[in-house]
Amino acid sequence: MTIESISSTKVFGGWHKQYSHQSSTLNCTMRFAVYLPPQAESQKVPVLYWLSGLTCTDENFMQKAGALRIAAELGMAIVAPDTSPRGEGVADDKDGAYDFGLGAGFYLNATKPPFDQHYQMYDYVVNELPKLIEAHFPVTAQRSISGHSMGGHGALTIGLKNPQQFKSVSAFSPICHPIDSPWGIKAFRGYLGDDQQQWLQYDSCELMAKSQQFVPMLVDQGSNDNFLDEQLKPQTLMQVAKEKGYPLELRMQSGYDHSYYFIASFIEDHLRFHAKYLSLS
């Protein structure tokens, strides 16, 4: 479990660092970013895992979200992995589409060749990456998870499937019901094949309806999001939560779109939300 340093930059008294490592889960070299708050110099700190959306890398959130000042105040580490396996030999969409293949791993375990050789992002985020982080950095095993769009889908599904591993879950503009979304249908068919029973294990609405353990959950959605009605469907998730009695707070934010301007406007709320469950406030 060796890692190689790429960059290190001091910010708000802590350090933003980028590393690469050879992933045994994804069978390729992966890059991730970690923010270590100043408190990490003297004690172990809890971790928020951030999952980014389509076309993104580890850099989008760290550079655009404005989260590091609040993380420094709270004493929270943030880990941002890449959104898919990459490199020579990693399968991609044959037409180079942005919503499938490289940059679009959908945080699932592919079962359909040739994608099953590399696209095991679910196992990477749930198992390999946390073990790597906890082995190399001054962090506790206290974890929460968040994400945006495709990464919001990943955060919700991973949190719902692993309630003992994550203390809290949040998302911005998540793909809430991918089995009824063009993005989700394309990804699931390409990675999992035509057996739609396999798809259900990566759909937040289906998982929430069957959940036995609850994890506190916060979702922010912009009312002016171009993808709201066709792709995201947060109201479907909210209906399931009401029927289940699930502790989900869905906030519709008037006038906001799908961009990082939206994320930057409310990221402080999300970090403080997670801090409550990570015993930081």
Question: CB of 120 within 8 A of CB of 22?
Answer: no
d(CA 240, CA 252): 17
Q: Which of 23, 84, 146, 149 is catalytic?
A: 149
- According to DSSP, the β-strands at 45-51 and 28-36 are unpaired
- According to DSSP, the β-strands at 14-23 and 28-36 are antiparallel
Known active-site residue 99 = no
Q: Which of 58, 203, 220, 225 is catalytic?
A: 225
Distance of CA 20 to the CA centre of its chain: 18
| DSSP element (H, E) containing 217 | strand 217-222
Residues 169, 173, 179: CA angle, nearest 5 degrees: 90
Q: Which residues contact 178 (CB under 8 A, 6 or more apart)?
A: 106, 153, 184, 185, 187, 188, 199, 202, 203, 204
Known active-site residue 92 = no
Q: What value does the CA radius of gyration of the chain take, rounded to a whole number of Å?
A: 17
Known active-site residue 21 = no
Q: Which of 16, 148, 153, 258 is catalytic?
A: 258
Tokens 């945006």 belong to residue? 148
What is residue 1's three-state secondary structure? coil
Cα 178 to Cα 99, 136, 204, 237: the distances in Å are 13, 35, 8, 11
Known catalytic residues are 149, 225, 258
